[in-house]
């Protein structure tokens, strides 16, 4: 390929690696820049600010600094490798006339399966039993298993947020496990007839499990707090695959330590990475993962290929339904 042809191709910056198939497709159409991995947060921020000055588009997999679009750049497209655009300063991009697109639903099944897996793991005490087997406590585990674990069938599941993730959680839980599903959503009129709507307080009062899969907005920030948790059914298990800030962590920890909450499956946190001194790290009835509910080989490939397609379309001047700041 000639130098002239190479220089005529658009430059696309990756904040983090994308699926190999997507990366190969991107390289066929564009010059690819990448923020080096294994840098400290400060070093990565500096590298990002330098590289973005050369980019026509950026595919985003990490939180961008709020002022990233303030400096001189030639950006013509910002594409979120996922659904949540709260990690992108969309208002600043809009002010600069830069379209921002996302990929709603690209990893919905991965996140939904994670939520179900979390409920199964905590209801059957898999982490506890695994640890005890490794400590040679075979007979005592079997003797206590019936008093320590429960089935999902027939249990009440509350879902907050009924986008593509919430819908998929509902399908798996209701049709696959026979759970009794109720929902809270900002658009109750769109619920199918077989899915009852409840207020947050009503929902939490009747649920054995509560899955949070709503977007982070001014209305959902701190939604699960001491006031709401005071209505919780005793033994409730929280599953958060939304954003950490939807839960007031201090209030949740108090409810866990009092025994009112039966447990929690947490993939997201108010502060990420989770601070070393967080009380959540020591609680025996909490499962912790590092914001990876939507990350699988399958979802990464779909998201990567879709992100490349959207970026190239926007750079060609085409419109796209996934642009969030039209």
**Residue 321 counted as domain residue:** no
Please confirm, yes or no, whether 174 is among the known catalytic residues: no
**Predicted confidence (pLDDT) at residue 170 exceeds the cutoff of 70:** yes
- Same domain for 96 and 135? no
**Residue 323 counted as domain residue:** no
- pLDDT tens track for 191-220: 999 999 999 999 999 999 999 999 999 999
- Same domain for 151 and 58? no
**Residue 325 counted as domain residue:** no
- Same domain for 162 and 42? no
- Same domain for 11 and 61? yes
Per the document, the length of the chain is: 326
How far apart are the two ends of the chain, measured CA to CA in Å? 36
- Same domain for 101 and 197? no
Q: How confident is the model over 147-162, as a mean pLDDT?
A: 97
Q: How many structural domains compose the chain?
A: 2
CA distance 88 to 292: 19
Catalytic option among 76, 92, 291, 320: 291
- Same domain for 66 and 130? no
- The domain of 193 spans 108-288
Residue 71: pLDDT band (50, 70, 90) is confident
Catalytic option among 168, 182, 243, 249: 243
Please confirm, yes or no, whether 243 is among the known catalytic residues: yes
- Same domain for 99 and 137? no
Structure tokens at 69: 């679009």
SS3 312: helix
- Same domain for 116 and 19? no
Catalytic option among 221, 272, 281, 316: 272
Structure tokens at 13: 């910056």
- pLDDT tens track for 123-146: 999 999 999 999 999 998 999 999
Q: Following DSSP, what letter does each residue of 208-250 receive, concatenated?
A: SEEEE-----TTTTT-BSHHHHTTPPTTEEEEE-S-GGGB-HH
Residues forming beta bridges with residue 212, ordered by sequence position: 160, 240
Residues 6+ apart with CB under 8 A from 36: 44, 47
């Amino acid at each position: 390929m000639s130098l002239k042809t190479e220089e005529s191709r658009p430059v696309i910056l990756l904040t983090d690696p994308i699926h190999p198939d997507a990366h190969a497709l991107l390289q066929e159409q564009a010059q690819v820049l990448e923020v080096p991995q294994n840098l400290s947060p400060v070093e990565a921020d500096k590298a990002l600010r330098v590289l973005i000055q050369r980019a026509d588009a950026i595919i985003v997999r990490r939180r961008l600094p709020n002022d990233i679009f303030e400096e001189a750049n030639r950006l013509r497209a910002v594409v979120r490798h996922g659904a949540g655009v709260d990690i992108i300063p969309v208002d600043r991009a809009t002010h600069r006339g830069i379209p921002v697109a996302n990929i709603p639903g690209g990893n919905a099944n991965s996140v939904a399966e994670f939520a179900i897996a979390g409920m199964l793991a905590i209801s059957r005490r898999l982490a506890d039993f695994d640890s005890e087997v490794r400590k040679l406590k075979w007979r005592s585990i079997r003797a206590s298993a019936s008093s320590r674990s429960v089935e999902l069938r027939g249990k009440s599941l509350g879902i907050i947020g009924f986008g593509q993730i919430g819908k998929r959680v509902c399908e798996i839980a209701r049709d696959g496990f026979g759970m009794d599903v109720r929902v809270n959503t900002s658009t109750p009129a769109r619920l199918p007839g077989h899915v009852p709507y409840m207020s947050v307080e009503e929902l939490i009062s009747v649920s054995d499990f509560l899955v949070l899969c709503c977007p982070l907005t001014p209305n959902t920030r701190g939604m699960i707090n001491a006031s709401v948790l005071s209505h919780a059914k005793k033994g409730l298990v929280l599953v958060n695959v939304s954003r950490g800030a939807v839960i007031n962590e201090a209030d949740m920890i108090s409810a866990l330590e009092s025994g009112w909450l039966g447990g929690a499956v947490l993939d997201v946190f108010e502060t990420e990475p989770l601070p070393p001194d967080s009380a959540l790290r020591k609680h025996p009835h909490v499962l912790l993962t590092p914001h990876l509910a939507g990350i699988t080989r399958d979802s990464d490939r779909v998201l990567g290929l879709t992100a490349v397609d959207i970026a190239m379309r926007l750079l060609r001047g085409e419109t796209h339904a996934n642009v969030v700041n039209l």
